[in-house]
Amino acid sequence: MDTLTPKERSERMSRVRGKDTKPEMRVRRLVSSMGYRYRLQYKKVPGRPDLAFPGRRKVIFVHGCFWHRHPDLSCQLARLPKSRLDFWLPKLDGNRARDLRKEQELQELGWSALTIWECQLRDEEALRDVIRAFLDPSEPGISARNVSSRRGHTPVSPCGTPQNSWTSGAPST
């Protein structure tokens, strides 16, 4: 049973955005402050990624943990609603399946994808390292697999995700 009236629920759901979300804006500000330039909602590749770096053939998706079903079981933002599961499960599972399909299409076209989850925005230093390792894998001292090895620890996102499990659809070489 929903705790809101249909009118209240409609009003709340109408506020959900598809682009220019707060998490996306935080990532955009961070990437820009690091000196990278990007394209927004790039339509020339599958999935219309949030940030695209055409010269590097790389894209970044900023996913909300709820809407895109963050697979980390310890992420509290990825909980399921308590009501109308018959509606929500297919919708959210469909979102996740579409995300995986679009990442695969990007990979087949030779593009690399990095997915940043909403809960991972809390550790800005680790996020900065992950973005730099993704965009500049050849930079000295930075490894795409274990970015923080130079600090002697593996950062963990606030949801408990070890940094090396942040999803990156980089083509294997």
Contacts by 75-84 with C-beta closer than 8 Å and gap 24+? 75/117, 75/119, 75/159, 75/160, 75/161, 76/119, 76/159, 77/118, 77/119, 77/159, 78/119, 78/159, 83/1, 83/2, 83/3, 84/2
Sheet holding 51-53, edge to edge: 39-40, 51-53, 58-63, 112-117
Q: What is the spatial distance between Cα 69 and Cα 49, in angstroms, rounded to a whole number?
A: 17
Report pLDDT digits (tens) over 52-66. 999 999 999 999 898
Looking at 34-146, list the stretches that DSSP marks H as alpha helix, in order from N- to C-terminal side. 85-108, 124-135
Q: How confident is the model at residue 131 (pLDDT cuts 50, 70, 90)?
A: very high
Whole-model pTM over 0.75: no
More confident residue, 122 or 165: 122
Average pLDDT over residues 7-16: 69
CA–CA distance, 81 with 21 (Å, rounded to integer): 21
Task: List, for residues 67-98, the tens digit of each pLDDT value.
Answer: 888 888 788 888 888 888 898 899 999 999 99
Average pLDDT of every residue of the chain: 79
Q: Encode burial over 140-151: b for 16+ CB neighbours within 10 A, e otherwise.
A: eebebeebbeee
Query: Alpha carbon of 170 to those of 76, 134, 145: distances in Å?
Result: 27, 8, 11
User: Average pLDDT for residues 104-112, to the nearest whole number?
Assistant: 95
Is the pLDDT assigned to residue 147 strictly greater than 50?
Answer: no
Average pLDDT of the segment spanning 133-161: 52
What is the pLDDT, as a whole number, of residue 25? 92
